[in-house]
Amino acid sequence: MVEASVRPIVVGVDGSTAATHAVSWAAREAVRRDVPLVVVHACALVPVAVPYAEALVPAYHRAQLEYGREWLDAAESAAREAAPDVRVSTDLARGSAAEQLIARSASAELVVLGSRGLGGFTGLVVGSIAVAVATYGHCPIVVVRGADAGAEGPVVLGVDGSPTSAAAIPFAFRAAASRGVPLVAVHTWLDTPLGEIGVDEAWDAIEREHRALVGEWLAPARAEHPDVPVEVVVARHRPAHTLLDQARNAQLVVVGSRGRGGFRGLLLGSTSHALIYHAACPVAVVPPPRW
């Protein structure tokens, strides 16, 4: 068991290839942060509803638990292969995957998920489990895509001046500082391209104004991490397009769990879905502080 004072990284597994990729990423991140890694499989022992099959229920449940243990053993091996110094433990839990991850997020540094799932984490990203964890979770959630996606490049941060966007800023700066890479702060002025509303001639002044705003939003974190090089991108485009473009060469994209302006509806809307489906690197969704 992890000491109560230590906030581990929690990664959910289900035997899928995507989950293995998530474990490898989480293991390296745990070593980077010097925290333990807890690998969890949630086994929902759903009763068999067919009356004549009642005698098969115990065997069915045993098989589910055996698969879970096998997946956890494989995940532990993958974690040690990715990061030999990782402090890793496994936990075969019973119950709903969403409930397990949400509960554990209250005492975790991160919850890490693969971009696709099966078994106990079916539809992990595109279905109700991901929505539930991202909506009700208490810590940042990282969705990992691909085997070695995001191995190089900067950390990309989406900012829009909202309180939840502000919560993502220190997370992104810490990620960039720990990796020794630059941070690219992305801000889009409007969802609608300027050419559609006839103010192209004002763009230079608008860009200067919004660069100044971004500078104000980033100032406290820049003061705390003066060695992190920062590039500010102010774009006349939809936020999903701009973030996906910047993510092509990034190792992590960081966004708040809600947004306004250029990142409105980020968690449950088209922008977050576009990032989850198409970003070429892991995506971190950072919730606001909960009191």
- Measured between alpha carbons, how far is 248 from 114 in angstroms, rounded to an integer? 19
Domains of the chain: 9-144 (3.40.50.620), 155-286 (3.40.50.12370)
| Sequence-ordered list of residues with C-beta below 8 angstroms from that of 50, at least 6 positions apart, any chain | none
Letter for the amino acid at 95?
Answer: G
Arithmetic mean of pLDDT over the chain: 81
List Cβ<8 Å contacts ≥24 apart for 127-130.
128/98, 129/97, 129/98, 129/101, 130/276
pLDDT band at residue 52 using 50, 70 and 90 as cut-offs: low
Alpha helix stretches (DSSP H) within 34-56: none
pLDDT in tens, 70-125: 999 999 999 999 999 999 999 998 888 888 999 999 999 999 988 765 444 444 44
User: Nearest-CA neighbor of 159 among 19, 286, 13, 5?
Assistant: 286
pLDDT digits (tens, 9 = 90+) for 164-215: 788 899 999 999 999 999 999 999 876 454 455 555 666 778 888 889 999 9
Does 280 or 63 have the greater pLDDT score? 280
H/E segment holding residue 78: helix 57-82
What residues contact 99, with CB distance under 8 A and at least 6 apart? 42
What tokens does 262 get? 């250029």
